[in-house]
Every structure is written in structure tokens, then in C-alpha cells.
């Protein structure tokens, strides 16, 4: 196809060696358009036509690529635009852990939030997800996408992997979707082709080993490590997990995969991995491997030494009417947040150990004794919609709202109202005498021209 940069010679040679006679099919597949796929948020009911992604009950292929930015349903957190191969995380999770149990899960390299939002749809509500991202600007985007997904059993943090050594044996599962050389994204992202070099593959390999070594102590005995990349080469993939298994006691986790999914099973030393090629599966390049930690790991106890700082009782009582569940309210960064009460000891503990961006659902701030609702509350899957007046909008008005432009309040009385598009809430407005304040977060607004 025109405009695609040609493959780096050394990459081509490596792939020719790895793929043998199917190398031609691989190169041909790279000339085709990337399949478009989305993952539905099961807690925000929408119906979508489309071929299912075989390995994820939430995944759908679309026949054409819409402009997601101009779809209000996307901004309501009703689906996430995600490449299909990486949805295979679901098989790694459901086949390696007992999801009926309350689990503590760390998504270590989480921005922009594809795997984290997927994990939230898989975990039960007594489980806690820590979605972490080391780069601050990316951690903000992660926080936005997590808030849109609407779950309260999550903490978004902005830490280096080495900071997790302060949490020995805390997690039942760690997902490390490591920064990599991105060979599997060549079709989707021509920049990845230009940035590829053998030296960068080596650099990535070293960084991945450092990340794995740093986070390893945070995994419990019998806990599961899910390691993945979007690259093909062995050194960033199976060789890294083999290296880890030589430093520590691990048990390989073999996944059951129907042959018709065309996923390559990699058996390397005593570990297993799963590789996706674009000429074999409908998706981009991807690798995943799962190991269970068998060595003894001393564990930290997350005892609640001090209760979380709480808002005044009267305010908590008022806020309780906003939600269907009965969450606990606490103060963080001068705002009231809500979380499942069962997670309060864990969250209090994490607040002392990590740099937290948000925890649970940001609910409201208090100004002059008045509650100002936070955007996170509007997007919460637990919100009691009956507690608020609503401004139902059509697509055109929804897009104006999402651009943070003024919209018409109609005949709504004064006060806060939920902006609702196709039964999905998009955010808040404050209706005043003859006008309305658009409370959509400035930094989230759509900047694309309509
Ligand atoms: N899991 C994400 C998802 O599904 O949306 C994609 C993660 S991306 C492959 C890798 C992430 O690792 C990036 O967000 C990147 O900023 C982060 N990262 C970069 N250097 C890192 C490091 N040294 N330690 C940990 N994470 C790092």
C-alpha cells in the first residue's frame, strides 16, 4: 500500500527466519487495513452489530472505522476502541484466576487504559484494581478513561515500578503490558516502523527485565503474573519470562486455546507464550505469557491504622442518595470520593504508599456549603439517575456539550442536571436563571472540528 514505510532490513530478516515460508503472507497482511474493533462496557448497556471477537465476550469487529471522537456514546464510556488481539488478556485472566474471589490486581503499565477497563469488566466488585502509569501526562488520560468506564473499585496511581517494592506480596495478579519495540503495530502505526532498530529492541528488553524485577516482590505466593507486549521478537517476550523463571520459582500457566483461533503457542524452556500474527488472526501483533509465583513471599498487611478522612456526616448522608449502592465517602485532593466500603482499608493503605491520581469515584466538592458534582459521578455505573433532573439531548447538542459550548437548558428549573444522550449520561450542567453552565471538564473537551 502507498505511504507505508518499507520494513527495516534487519527486522525483515529476523521475521523471515522466524516465519519461514509464511513470511510472504505476513508481509501481505501488513499491506491490508487494520481491522477495527471495540470492547463494550457491559455495565452501560448498548447494542452493537458486528462479528464477535472469539476470545472476548465483550469484543466486536466493526465493518468500518467510525470517527470515535464524534460519537457521544464513546465519551459516555459505553465502549472502548481496542485492537482485537490485546483483548486476549481476557483468556489469560479467566483461565488463571478464580474470579469469584476478591482479588487485588495491579495493571502496572496501564495508560491509556485498554487493559484496565477490560480488567474492571472481568473482576467482581469486591476486587480492587490498581491502574498505574509512570508518565504523569499519560496517567491523567488513564484517569479520564477509567472514570468514563464508571467503576468505583479502582485506584489510579502515577508511580515507577520500583515504588511497588513497598507493597510486598500485596497483589493476587499483576498485569505488565510492557513498553516495547512495537513490531506488532507496524500496520496501524507507521511511526513504529520508523522507530524500529535492533538497538531499541535490546534497550526495550533490558527495560522490561528491570520492570519485571522491580514489581516481582509485590506479587503474592500463588499470585499470577500476566506479561504482554505488542512485539514479535523472542528477546522481549519468551526470553524475558524464561529469564524471570531462572531468577525465581514460577510455574508456567498453559492456556486452553481452540486451534481455529490460529494463535501460535510458544513453548520456550519451561514457560509458555502465545503469539498473534496479522496473517493468522484478525488483529495486530501481540504476545502474552502467564506464570504463577511459587516461591515464598512475605506479605504486607494492609491494616487501617487511621480511617480515611471523611466528609461531615450530613454531607455523606446527602451523597448516599446519589448512588444505588451504599459506598463509603472520603476526602482526597480536597474532593469527596466514593468507594465500596469493603475496600477502605486497602485504599487507605495505598494512599500512604503510592502517588494517587484518583481513588474510587470522584463524587463532589464542597463550595460555600454547597455540593458541586464531579464529572466522575455522572459517569458512575452506580449513579442513581432518579436523584437528578435530566437534560435529554440529541447528537448535535451532545457534541456541543462535549466541546464545552453553551447549550439550551430548555424549561429545566435551576440547579444541577445530568446531560443524557440515548440513556447514557455524559456529564453535568448547572442551570441558572436564563442560561446554563456547561460543567464538562475543560481538559476532556472535544477539540476536533465537527
Ligand atoms: N496497558 C495499556 C493499554 O492497554 O491501554 C498500554 C500500555 S503501553 C504498551 C506501555 C505503557 O508503559 C505506556 O503507557 C508507557 O508510558 C509505560 N512505560 C514507559 N516506560 C515505562 C517504565 N520504565 N516503567 C513502566 N511503565 C513504563
Atom of ligand 1 nearest to the CA of 142: 5
**pLDDT confidence bin for 449, thresholds 50/70/90:** confident
DSSP string, 258-325: -GGG-PEEEEETTEEEEEE-TTTSSS--EEEEEEEE-S---------SSPPP---HHHHHHHHTTBSS
Residue of the nearest CA to atom 20 in ligand 1? 179
Q: Is residue 71 part of a domain?
A: no
DSSP state, 445?
S
Q: What is the pLDDT of residue 1?
A: 44
Q: Indicate the residue among 263, 293, 323 that finishes a domain.
A: 293
Whichever domain contains 404, its CATH number is 3.10.450.720
Of the pLDDT bands very low, low, confident and very high (cuts 50, 70, 90), residue 204 is very high
* Mean pLDDT value across residues 52-69: 96
Regarding whether 187 and 147 lie in a shared domain, the answer is yes
Instruction: Tell me the mean pLDDT in the region 9-36.
Output: 96
Per-residue confidence (pLDDT) for residue 171, from 0 to 100 = 98
Same domain, 353 and 426: no
- Report the pocket of ligand 1 as residue ranges, CB < 6 Å: 109-115, 133-135, 138, 161, 177, 179, 207, 211
> Could you read off the pLDDT of 234-245 as tens digits, one per residue?
999 999 999 999
- What is the rounded CA–CA span in Å between residue 441 and residue 169? 37
Query: Which pLDDT score, from 0 to 100, does residue 24 have?
Result: 96
Q: Are residues 317 and 398 in the same domain?
A: no
- When divided into structural domains, the chain yields a total of 3
CATH number at residue 119: 3.40.50.150
Q: Is 68 exposed, middle or buried (0-12, 13-18, 19+ CB in 10 A)?
A: middle
**Alpha-carbon distance values, 154 to 93, 103, 194, 208 (Å):** 17, 12, 36, 25
Percent of the chain with pLDDT over 90: 90
The burial class, CB within 10 Å (0-12 / 13-18 / 19+), for 153 is buried
Catalytic residues: 230
Q: pLDDT of 161-177, one tens digit each? A: 999 999 999 999 999 99
| Span 116-141, pLDDT tens digits | 999 999 999 999 999 999 999 999 99
Residue 46 belongs to some domain of the structure:
no
Ligand 1 centroid from CA 442, angstroms: 25
* 3-state DSSP percent of the chain in helix, strand and coil, to 5: 35, 25, 40
Residue 5: pLDDT band with limits 50, 70, 90: confident
Q: Helix axis angle, 114-122 relative to 136-149, nearest 10°?
A: 30
Last residue of a domain, one of 236, 262, 293: 293
Do 207 and 323 have their domain in common?
Answer: no
Q: Ligand 1: which residue has its CA nearest to atom 3?
A: 114
What's the 107 CA to ligand 1 centre distance in angstroms? 10
How far, in Å, from the CA of 177 to the mean position of ligand 1? 7
Atom 16, ligand 1: residue with shortest CA distance? 135
Q: What are the cell numbers at 39?
A: 470492547
Mutation to probe ligand 1, out of 111, 162, 175, 227 (largest number of atoms < 8 A from CB) = 111
Across the range 356-372, mean pLDDT stands at 93
Residues 132 and 232 in one domain: yes
Q: Counting atoms of ligand 1 from 1, which one is nearest the CA of 112? A: 5
Arithmetic mean of pLDDT, 337-355: 94
375 and 419 both lie in a single domain: no
Q: Note the Cα 298 to chain centre separation in Å.
A: 29
| pLDDT above 70: percentage of residues in the chain | 99
Is 284 in the same domain as 210?
Answer: yes
Whether pLDDT at 2 is above 60: no
Confidence of residue 3 (pLDDT cuts 50, 70, 90): low
Kindly state whether residue 421 falls inside one of the protein's structural domains.
yes
Same domain, 361 and 306: yes
Domain residue limits at 430: 388-450
CA of 167 to the centre of ligand 1 (A): 20
Global pTM exceeds 0.95: yes
Residue that terminates a domain, selected from 379, 410, 431? 379
336 belongs to a structural domain: yes
Residue 29 belongs to a domain: no
Q: The cell 477509567 sits on which residue? A: 146
Do 400 and 313 lie in one domain? The reply is no
Of the pLDDT bands very low, low, confident and very high (cuts 50, 70, 90), residue 450 is low
For residue 4, the model assigns a pLDDT of 74
Amino acid at each position: 500500500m502507498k505511504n507505508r514505510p518499507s520494513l527495516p532490513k534487519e527486522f525483515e530478516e529476523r521475521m523471515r527466519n522466524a516465519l519461514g515460508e509464511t513470511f510472504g503472507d505476513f508481509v501481505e497482511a501488513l499491506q491490508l487495513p487494520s481491522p477495527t474493533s471495540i470492547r463494550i462496557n457491559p455495565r452501560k448497556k448498548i447494542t452493537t452489530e458486528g462479528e464477535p471477537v472469539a476470545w472476548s465476550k465483550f469484543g466486536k469487529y466493526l465493518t468500518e472505522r467510525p470517527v470515535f471522537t464524534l460519537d457521544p456514546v464513546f465519551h459516555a464510556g459505553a465502549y472502548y476502541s481496542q485492537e482485537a488481539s490485546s483483548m486476549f488478556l481476557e483468556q489469560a485472566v479467566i483461565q488463571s484466576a478464580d474470579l469469584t474471589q476478591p482479588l487485588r490486581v495491579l495493571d502496572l503499565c496501564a495508560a491509556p487504559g485498554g487493559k484496565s477497563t477490560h480488567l474492571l469488566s472481568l473482576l467482581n466488585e469486591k476486587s480492587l484494581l490498581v491502574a498505574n502509569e509512570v508518565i504523569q501526562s499519560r496517567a491523567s488520560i488513564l484517569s479520564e478513561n477509567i472514570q468514563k468506564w464508571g467503576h468505583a473499585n479502582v485506584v489510579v496511581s502515577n508511580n515507577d515500578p520500583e515504588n511497588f517494592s513497598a507493597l510486598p506480596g500485596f497483589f493476587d495478579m499483576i498485569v505488565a503490558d510492557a513498553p516495547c519495540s512495537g513490531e506488532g503495530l507496524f500496520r496501524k502505526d507507521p511511526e513504529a516502523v520508523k522507530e524500529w532498530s535492533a538497538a531499541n529492541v535490546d534497550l526495550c528488553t533490558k527495560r522490561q527485565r528491570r520492570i519485571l524485577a522491580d514489581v516481582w516482590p509485590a506479587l503474592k505466593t500463588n499470585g499470577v503474573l500476566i506479561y504482554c507486549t505488542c512485539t514479535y521478537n523472542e528477546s522481549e517476550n519468551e526470553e524475558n519470562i524464561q529469564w524471570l523463571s531462572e531468577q525465581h520459582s514460577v510455574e508456567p500457566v498453559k492456556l486452553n486455546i481452540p486451534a481455529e483461533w490460529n494463535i501460535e503457542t510458544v513453548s520456550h524452556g519451561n514457560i509458555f507464550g502465545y503469539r498473534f500474527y496479522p496473517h493468522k488472526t484478525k488483529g495486530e501483533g501481540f504476545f502474552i505469557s502467564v506464570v504463577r509465583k511459587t516461591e515464598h513471599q512475605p506479605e504486607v498487611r494492609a491494616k487501617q491504622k487511621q480511617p480515611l478522612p471523611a466528609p461531615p456526616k450530613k454531607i455523606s448522608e446527602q451523597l448516599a442518595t446519589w448512588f444505588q449502592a451504599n459506598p463509603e465517602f472520603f476526602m482526597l485532593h480536597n474532593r469527596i470520593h466514593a468507594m465500596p466500603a469493603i475496600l477502605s482499608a486497602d485504599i487507605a493503605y495505598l494512599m500512604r504508599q503510592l502517588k494517587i491520581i484518583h481513588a474510587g469515584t470522584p463524587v463532589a466538592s464542597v463550595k460555600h456549603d454547597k455540593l458541586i458534582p464531579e464529572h466522575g459521578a455522572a459517569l458512575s455505573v452506580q449513579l442513581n439517575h432518579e436523584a437528578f433532573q435530566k437534560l435529554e439531548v440529541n447528537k448535535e447538542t451532545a457534541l456541543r456539550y462535549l466541546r464545552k459550548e453553551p447549550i439550551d437548558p430548555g424549561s429545566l428549573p435551576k440547579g444541577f442536571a445530568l446531560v443524557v444522550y440515548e440513556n447514557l449520561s455524559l456529564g453535568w450542567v448547572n442551570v441558572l436563571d436564563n442560561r446554563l453552565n456547561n460543567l464538562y471538564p475543560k481538559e476532556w473537551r472535544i477539540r476536533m472540528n465537527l
